[in-house]
Structure 1
Amino acid sequence: MIRAESFHAPGPADFDLPGFFSIGGTEITKPMIQLVLAAIIVFAFFALAIRRGTLVPGKLQFAGESAYGMVRNSIGRDIIGSHDFARFVPYLVTVFFFIFVNNIFGSVPLIAFPSFSRASMAYALAAVSWVLYNAVGIKKHGFLGYLKLQCVPAGVPVAMYPLLIPLEFFSNLLIRPVTLALRLFCNMFAGHLLLMLFATGGLYLIEHVGGIGYAAGPLAWVLAILVSFLEILVQFLQAYVFTLLNAMYLQGALADEH
């Protein structure tokens, strides 16, 4: 019989990693280093891809152009529109690949930790997006014009305004960055937690249960491997969805009618 009290299941405390070193009293943790490393990787990849641009691209240039074109065309142009999208493409490309690299860290041996499984990281990135699309909307429509655009739906009877205006205000101006961050954080947190559970649970079954544990333990590890492949897909999709929603919010801020 498995004694539940003897197995310490992984939980949120396992995501509170100790600092590697301190700078001015601030503990520098593994996720913080990963954010810097991801920025370097993204910058280096595109810098190398365009370093020797030729009419007939090599493998690296082709990979860089394909990656850039995917975000530029399928997210930027298709969502924001051909008139306004070009000036936002650098931001969208940066956001997509920065998130994707940080997410994929969770599947890289020796690192094995997705940076955005820490809520503070996801909220900080969502805050940048919130500032950007609101600033774009205010610049185009003016503060009061933008506020009206976001809070007063077109074609709605005036009698409905007392109900809809507060809902639209909270939904469009306050809740968006929260849901944007939570979607990214929760998916990365839950996926990594599941992998930890299968890995540690399999080891526990083999070492402490015996008998059926010798069969159940390796099965748990097989499930961990299968989930890790699923996680790679989720890591890509979460980067894509975050960038897609950014484009949608920018398009909404630029639109002339809500």
Structure 2
Amino acid sequence: MNVFVPTATDDGTFHGPSIDEFFPPVIFFEGTNFEINRIILIRFIAVLAILLIFWLGTRRMKVIPGRGQSLVEMGLDFVRVNIAEDLLGKKDGKRFLPLLTTIFFMVLFMNITGIIPFLNIAGTSVIGVPLVLAVVAYVAFIYAGVKKSPSNFFRNALFPPGVPKFLYIIVTPIEFLSAFVLRPVTLTLRLLMNMVVGHLLLVLFFSATQFFFFNADGLFKLFGLGTIAFGFVFTLFEILVAVLQAYVFALLTAVYIQLALAEEH
């Protein structure tokens, strides 16, 4: 399993990261509908890590929690207080808390694999997972609106009250694109592009470090000190991005649900 792309050929030239990083060769079940490559395997690992951590943290719940239980409760409380209840209130926040919690931790764990040694790529860096999560958020938005107001949700979303009727020819297409097309697209692309760019930058810095240390001549080797320093800084930055993107994805999902539950719908 290659962690990074090759950094030098036999002639000693440097080759940076490639988009081929996101299309690794098949590891298991090649030629079937169940092909598993490196990124899919990383997704499995991330999901197993979520299940294991939550199982270990909740299997023996105590009134005075231990460190594991405290850590899990802090994560759950963060989603409940800062995302679900803050935007949806206690009643609706409780209804949609399982969904928002699942989205937050799934995105977080799959993002964070991008900086874990021997994994080194995010499970969200290929469009499948971001797209599925965006569709789930979109379906939750539609469900919330239709459940709240079956007869008025789509009408009020496409024909906002108070707008002069002659303006609907302009407003309605804009509202349709904004509410029913661009939301899932932007959710998908925001997460995907952040993870793709982050991975390419890390590969660039660390592969350049390898090149300068092992292939460059003379004082050029000293450039490796700079690239490894930048690599370390961007690793810390990538951790921040991984957490922030998980928060943003769950937050925007809650925002869309809140808009669907608004009184005018």
TM-score in same-fold range (> 0.5): yes
Structure 1 window deviating more from structure 2 (230-239 vs 110-119): it is 110-119
Per-residue CA distance 1:13-46 (angstroms, 9 max, x = gap): 1221111111744311122222222222222222
Question: Residues of 2 paired with 1:112 and 1:169: CA distance?
Answer: 39
Structure 1 window deviating more from structure 2 (123-132 vs 105-114): it is 123-132
Provide the residue aligned with 1:202 in structure 2. Answer: 209
Provide the residue aligned with 2:38 in structure 1. Answer: 30
Aligned pair 1:151/2:180, yes or no? no
Provide the residue aligned with 2:5 in structure 1. Answer: none
TM-score by length of 2: 0.89
Provide the residue aligned with 2:93 in structure 1. Answer: 85
Deviation at 1:126, TM superposition (A): 1.0
Question: Residues of 1 paired with 2:58 and 2:215: CA distance?
Answer: 55
Structure 1 counterpart of 2:153, one-letter code: Y
Question: Residues of 2 paired with 1:19 and 1:139: CA distance?
Answer: 43
Task: Determine which of 42, 62, 65 is the counterpart of 1:57.
Answer: 65
Per-residue CA distance 1:100-159 (angstroms, 9 max, x = gap): 1111111111111111111222112211221222122222222x5221232223333323
Q: Percent identity?
A: 36
Provide the residue aligned with 1:130 in structure 2. Answer: 138
Please show how residues 93-112 of structure 1 align to structure 2 within 5 Å. 93-112=101-120
Provide the residue aligned with 2:242 in structure 1. Answer: 235
Kindly indicate which of the two structures has a greater share of residues assigned to helix: 1
Secondary structure of 2:48's counterpart equals: helix
Aligned residues: 253
Structure 1 counterpart of 2:260, one-letter code: A
Provide the residue aligned with 1:44 in structure 2. Answer: 52
Secondary structure of 2:256's counterpart equals: helix
Question: Residues of 1 paired with 2:51 and 2:34: CA distance?
Answer: 26
Secondary structure of 2:17's counterpart equals: coil
Question: Residues of 1 paired with 2:55 and 2:128: CA distance?
Answer: 29
Structure 1 window deviating more from structure 2 (121-130 vs 98-107): it is 121-130
Question: Residues of 2 paired with 1:173 and 1:254: CA distance?
Answer: 15
Structure 2 counterpart of 1:118, one-letter code: V
* Large movers: runs of 4+ above 4 Å: none
RMSD over aligned CA atoms reads: 1.8
Task: Determine which of 229, 252, 260 is the counterpart of 1:245.
Answer: 252
Structure 1 window deviating more from structure 2 (104-113 vs 50-59): it is 50-59
Structure 1 counterpart of 2:95, one-letter code: R
Unaligned runs of 5+ in 2: 1-11
Deviation at 1:208, TM superposition (A): 4.0
Deviation at 1:257, TM superposition (A): 1.7
Task: Determine which of 171, 177, 201 is the counterpart of 2:178.
Answer: 171
Question: Residues of 2 paired with 1:187 and 1:177: CA distance?
Answer: 16
Question: Residues of 2 paired with 1:70 and 1:202: CA distance?
Answer: 38
Deviation at 1:95, TM superposition (A): 1.0
Question: Residues of 2 paired with 1:57 and 1:12: CA distance?
Answer: 45
Question: Residues of 2 paired with 1:171 and 1:208: CA distance?
Answer: 51
TM-score by length of 1: 0.91
Secondary structure of 2:29's counterpart equals: strand
Question: Residues of 2 paired with 1:29 and 1:208: CA distance?
Answer: 30
Provide the residue aligned with 1:221 in structure 2. Answer: 228
Structure 1 window deviating more from structure 2 (202-211 vs 239-248): it is 202-211
